[in-house]
Structure 1
Amino acid sequence: MPGLYTAVLGLLVLLPLVGNFFFPYLWMDLVFLFSVIQKGYRIEKRLQRKPPVTILDVFLDKAQKHPEKPLILFEDKSFSYREVDRRSSQVARVLQGHVGLKEGETAAVFLKNIPAYLWVWLGLGKIGCAMACINYNIRLKSLLHVLSSCEAKVLLTTPDLKSAIEDVLPTLQKEGVRVFYLSDDSPTEGVEALLGRIKSSSDEPVPLSCRGNTTPTSSPIYVFTSGTTGLPKAAIINQKKMFNASNLFVLCGVHSKDTIYIPLPLYHMAALTGVLGCLEVGATFVLKSKFSVSQYWDDCRRYRVSVIQYIGEIMRYLCNAPKKESDRDHSVRIAIGNGMRSEVWKEFLRRFGPIQIREIYGCTEGNGGFLNYTGKVGAAGKTNFIYKKLAQYELIQYDIEKDEPVRDERGLCIPVALGETGLMVGKITRLTPFDGYVGDRKKTEKKILQDVLKKGDAYFNSGDLLIQDHEGFIYFQDRVGDTFRWKGENVATTEAESILETLDFIQEVNVYGVPVPGHEGKIGMAAIRLKEGLSFDGKKLYVHTQDYLPNYAIPRFIRIREAMEITVTYKQSKNQLVKEAFDPATISDPLFFLDDLEKCYVPMTQQIYSSITEKKLKL
């Protein structure tokens, strides 16, 4: 018997070691699953209350519990939870009383990263209004489109965007959209300055009756996304989606004593997720007006930052900056973001120390996503059998050439095997809804795939190609359709094409993204067919793109084609063009490069090509 007890005891000692060998991530998986289920239950309980608990209520609760704690650190200023609460109440009273916004209406903000962004959003929430977050880089047609699509009654901006406002002001006035500057004075006739009124208004709490119609499906924020085609679309970000975003930071290990660094633009869901995560745990965030490589780590030291946010390109910029002895002199413990490539990931850890990298996969309007909670280099997320049942996603076969999912003889989609690339789709259910885009039913329906695994089901089409390995790690491969990503922005090729086609010498245009060595994402390139008898005008095209496209969407390379290839479904073919890229040694078509110094598209030479591939020429 003693021998038996000894053997059993030995097995019990060895069991964790054996389990760790065969299932090295089992404990992490279980902890993550428990946290996801717990947070999901808590969100459902919040939303089922009468009235439902909202993100605004979470903020107000934190303002009651620690009113003097800093919420926003911006340059040399600090704004406490109490101060942000009071300022948002002042904004609410002016927007409701003087401006005349009614509960359920939408105000758009056309602002750079300033603290007012937060108290305008909270102020709108206090009167039951939605805030549309507009990219401050867009102009003219795109700007008018986004304001119209979200049915904005009011546009709030600042005088530093005066020229963009004045370009569209006559049209906005005709359409009944009122424009206001968040400043003491207005440099534009017909645009009132509101800051004086805000400063002099009452900062007492706004009555709950002002937002009495708020429901779990109410959308306090609209975030614009280019999706896969066309002009920007207003993704509906309702209360549940906001809670899911805020809890991402909790799942990543962020707590109330952390200070979060946010250098990303607040019109992006990534930056808003950082703010929401901060409110959820009652932390502090540092708001940076604009990302700066040279100031990044100095800021982290100055503000004692413990959590940073990133997109892949930011990490590459930091790794490419000159090395310093102070590279590891910081208190950052967690980095949360998406799009970091393996080689950058490894270099970042080597250079800046053992920071926990928490890579996230998801899209603004999507109904699911992944989190790499293990720190596995290069993975966009981690999954397992139970999580797949909860998230109800699938990776399905996709025909790149036909630009559509592969279907079997029954008309159903075909799941890919482990290790194979597939299109990420998420089942649309009560727990994993797809809320779509405001005021655009056709574009909402276009993102829904029917009859995926069985007749009658419906899935959200992410437009992303992913791959899953045998350990359950998810890796991002590419985007399908007409979108590519450059400088952290999604570029809708159809929008760029529609702008270029208005030039008198262009007959047909095909915009696509091509990879560039040493850069994240893909840079814009356009294949152009000229009108008969007309020649290419590099200066005219340069001026046109500067006037009508944001910088990240301007094609840097032009390829003149005699004819455009199309796919079997009569769509413009991009795959071969992407593969051939912009090497003048292998392409016989005339090639041109956007030269910012010459303010013109100039002939592409082998010397320019070498300078780009050797990273001597900045793009």
Structure 2
Amino acid sequence: MFFSVTWATALLAGIVSVYIAQRLCFPYFWKDVFYLLKVIRYGARLEFYKRTKIVTVLDRFVQQARRIPDKPFLIVEGVSYTYRQIDERSNRLARVFEQQGSVKRGDTVAMLMSNEPDFVSVWFGLSKLGCALAFLNTNIRSRSLLHCFNSCGAKLLVVGADLLDTLKEILPSLHEDNISVWAMKHEVSHPGVYSLLDKIEQASHEPMPAELRSTTSLKTPLLYIFTSGTTGLPKAAVITHLQSLKAAGGFWAYGGTAEDVIYTPLPLYHSAASLVGIGGTIELGATCVLKKKFSASQFWNDCRKYDVTIFQYIGELCRYLCNQPKAENEKDHKVYMGVGNGLRQDVWREFHERFGKIRMCELYGSTEGNLCFMNHIGKIGAVGRSNFFYKLLFKYDLVKYDMLKEEPVKDEQGFCLRVKRGEMGLLLSKISSQSPFFGYAGSKQLTENKVLRNVFVKGDAYFNTGDLMVEDEENFISFKDRVGDTFRWKGENVATTEVTEVLGLPDFIQEANVYGVEVPAHEGRAGMAAIIVRPSFEFDGKKLFEAVLTHLPTYARPLFIRLQESMEMTGTFKQQKFRLVKSGFNPSTISDPLYFLDYTEKSYVPLTDAIYESIRAGQRKL
């Protein structure tokens, strides 16, 4: 008896000791294990899809429409649309284009639509015909829009009723290129534009044959989502069925269920809302509240009205919510999770303080990238977490980067150098059969520009994320900055070369160097341009204002202008940005004349100390 009691006591003491040791030395062990098991489980399902009957996100939607036909799928502006209703409407739309003979299996169709139920109906309807869809950014105009058609090869455009007038300038060019335009209206007065709503109402809602949407490979292109890059004009990132399936598992990986109501105020032309938001809703069999445009003042009222449990965000969105006047019922809601990216640490903490301990689930990954990080622990400030087993599945490295030369640091053999733990480095993700990089539509050079070869050994290839990251001693990964010719502002990527081309339109500008500068209490970087005025010309703030207003979306317009006598260049004759970025836009420390984009004056006006201080204090809306 004595020995049995002693043995039991020793066993209990041993278990307690192991538990304490695990808590002290490996505090995230079990969370890591459960998360990794989910990743492996989802990956096994994708492998099953590859090797047996291929199942796509659209197949999953059709399955859900049969399983839960009367469950609300979308709620838009207070109106509920069930899985069956969206399925049947997408069938009607598919039959319209089938009867018209406008498109065939394998064609690409462009969409220019705001967040509305028919965005999803058009997307699914044309996918049921075996077409690939190109989601066009609703902010882009004129030649940038024409470029999108050329890069993805679309010969048909479906445009929302609210966006038809934005095409007036380029309609003749579209017709010249034999691109047919269909508007979501009952009747259209624009010459050469076809109405679609009247035809949808007359079409049958009977299911389309499944073989039309079937695919022989998950690597077949499904979508083209446009992202800004170093080329200046938008690039069409190729989104395959495999990528869309991976993105659709995001909410599930974080613990989402069919009972959740997901709030999506982000634009559907971005991968976050379409692939993660809509795709994730379908995967769970949940409900999505789709907002046409984000409103900070309506956000929590919407959450209460629709019993929202999960919301999608970008960092700027959370900052807008924190900037709203405080209300007594701020914590009166059912939201328990937010999924997104770009949440700053100070905003994160304030968000918790104001609105309750909502679990903020940061994601990291680019639209076209082959790597994703998920902060499944919820540590404030981290975009993801890695460990030994994760690194076995997904090969990535942080390498030393020279900010002045704007290139990775190489050793004597010409190979990249890995950074030490806790040191900032350029994130590279190895390209392999398990983590493929599908690149961009159009020029192969665009794809090749994102690939680094012979990185550590001869013959290897890595996707260059263009992001500077840090991995700390506990394997938490934090985003630090972007490199190259792209920066983020208002949740959008801004390509500096595209802005530079527009700044070259006014006759008084000889040269322009565009970059992003940090602004206190704002996410990302605001646009700024150093320019040289042509000899015998003078700076014209009104003329420059008109140029950027006409040719650039709001987020891409430079807020600050710096006049210079000469442009500083790097040793390889590239425009020097590093020192300009560091010097910012403070008129008290910069001797060059500075100007500020003033919408009230409809001009670029001198940036005075008073204006500068009002910007720093957050008194001016940027």
1:208-255 per-residue CA deviation (whole Å, 9 max, x = no partner) reads 232355531222211111134421101011011001101111111111
**Residue 425 (structure 1) aligns with:** 428
1:110-161 per-residue CA deviation (whole Å, 9 max, x = no partner) reads 0111110101111111100011011111000111111111111111112322
1:42-69 per-residue CA deviation (whole Å, 9 max, x = no partner) reads 012113224x111111111111111000
**Residue 127 (structure 1) aligns with:** 129
1:139 aligned to which of 138, 141, 146: 141
**Residue 184 (structure 1) aligns with:** 186
Q: What is the distance in 2 between the residues matched to 1:212 and 1:60?
A: 12
Q: Is the 8 A contact 1:338 1:380 kept in 2?
A: yes
TM-score by length of 1: 0.98
Q: What is the distance in 1 between the residues matched to 2:72 and 2:165?
A: 34
Instruction: Report matched runs for 1:284-303 at 5 Å.
Output: 284-303=287-306
Structure 1 390/213 Cα, relative in aligned 2: closer, same or farther at 3 Å? Answer: closer
Q: What is the distance in 2 between the residues matched to 1:401 and 1:25?
A: 38
Q: 139-148 vs 92-101, which deviates more?
A: 92-101
Q: Structure 1 residue 187: deviation in Å?
A: 3.2
Instruction: Report matched runs for 1:105-184 at 5 Å.
Output: 105-184=107-186
1:610 aligned to which of 593, 609, 613: 613
1:335 aligned to which of 338, 356, 361: 338
Structure 2 residue identity aligned to 1:604: L
**Residue 369 (structure 1) aligns with:** 372
Q: What is the distance in 1 between the residues matched to 2:605 and 2:51?
A: 61
Q: Is the 8 A contact 1:159 1:187 kept in 2?
A: no
**Residue 267 (structure 1) aligns with:** 269
Structure 2 residue identity aligned to 1:578: V
Structure 2 residue identity aligned to 1:79: Y
Matched, 1:497 2:500: yes
**Residue 245 (structure 1) aligns with:** 247
Structure 1 residue identity aligned to 2:552: L
2:328 aligned to which of 319, 325, 330: 325
1:419-452 per-residue CA deviation (whole Å, 9 max, x = no partner) reads 0001111111111000000122001000001011
Instruction: Report matched runs for 1:303-452 at 5 Å.
Output: 303-452=306-455
Structure 2 residue identity aligned to 1:185: E
Structure 1 residue identity aligned to 2:271: M
Q: What is the distance in 2 between the residues matched to 1:162 and 1:66?
A: 35
Q: What is the distance in 1 between the residues matched to 2:433 and 2:514?
A: 38
**Residue 558 (structure 1) aligns with:** 561
SS at match of 1:465: strand
**Residue 19 (structure 1) aligns with:** 22
Identify unmatched segments of 5+ residues in structure 2: none
Q: What is the distance in 2 between the residues matched to 1:12 and 1:215?
A: 49
Q: What is the distance in 1 between the residues matched to 2:222 and 2:341?
A: 24
Q: What is the distance in 1 between the residues matched to 2:126 and 2:161?
A: 21
Q: What is the distance in 2 between the residues matched to 1:517 and 1:103?
A: 50
Q: Is the 8 A contact 1:465 1:476 kept in 2?
A: yes
Q: Is the 8 A contact 1:228 1:463 kept in 2?
A: no
Q: Structure 1 residue 3: deviation in Å?
A: 4.2
1:10 aligned to which of 4, 13, 28: 13
Q: What is the distance in 2 between the residues matched to 1:359 and 1:580?
A: 31
1:72 aligned to which of 67, 71, 74: 74
Q: Is the 8 A contact 1:556 1:593 kept in 2?
A: yes
Structure 1 residue identity aligned to 2:352: L
**Residue 483 (structure 1) aligns with:** 486
Matched, 1:569 2:572: yes
Q: Is the 8 A contact 1:128 1:214 kept in 2?
A: no
Q: Is the 8 A contact 2:296 2:320 kept in 1?
A: yes
Q: Is the 8 A contact 1:541 1:601 kept in 2?
A: yes
Q: Is the 8 A contact 2:505 2:547 kept in 1?
A: no
Stretches (4+) displaced over 6 A: none
Identify unmatched segments of 5+ residues in structure 1: none
Structure 1 292/99 Cα, relative in aligned 2: closer, same or farther at 3 Å? Answer: farther
Q: What is the distance in 1 between the residues matched to 2:161 and 2:123?
A: 19
SS at match of 1:78: strand
Q: What is the distance in 2 between the residues matched to 1:99 and 1:160?
A: 26
Matched, 1:206 2:208: yes
Matched, 1:232 2:234: yes
1:27-56 per-residue CA deviation (whole Å, 9 max, x = no partner) reads 111111111111011012113224x11111
1:539-563 per-residue CA deviation (whole Å, 9 max, x = no partner) reads 1111111110001000011111110
Q: Structure 1 residue 410: deviation in Å?
A: 1.7
Q: Structure 1 residue 81: deviation in Å?
A: 0.4
Structure 1 5/81 Cα, relative in aligned 2: closer, same or farther at 3 Å? Answer: closer
Identity over aligned pairs, percent: 50
Q: What is the distance in 1 between the residues matched to 2:69 and 2:280?
A: 18
SS at match of 2:512: strand
1:459-502 per-residue CA deviation (whole Å, 9 max, x = no partner) reads 10000000000000000000000111000000000000011112
Q: 402-411 vs 557-566, which deviates more?
A: 402-411
1:522-548 per-residue CA deviation (whole Å, 9 max, x = no partner) reads 100111011111111111111111110
Q: Is the 8 A contact 2:133 2:222 kept in 1?
A: yes
SS at match of 2:155: strand
**Residue 276 (structure 1) aligns with:** 279
**Residue 511 (structure 1) aligns with:** 514
SS at match of 1:264: coil
Structure 1 residue identity aligned to 2:153: E
Aligned length: 618
Q: What is the distance in 2 between the residues matched to 1:511 and 1:220?
A: 34
Q: Structure 1 residue 511: deviation in Å?
A: 0.6
SS at match of 1:558: strand
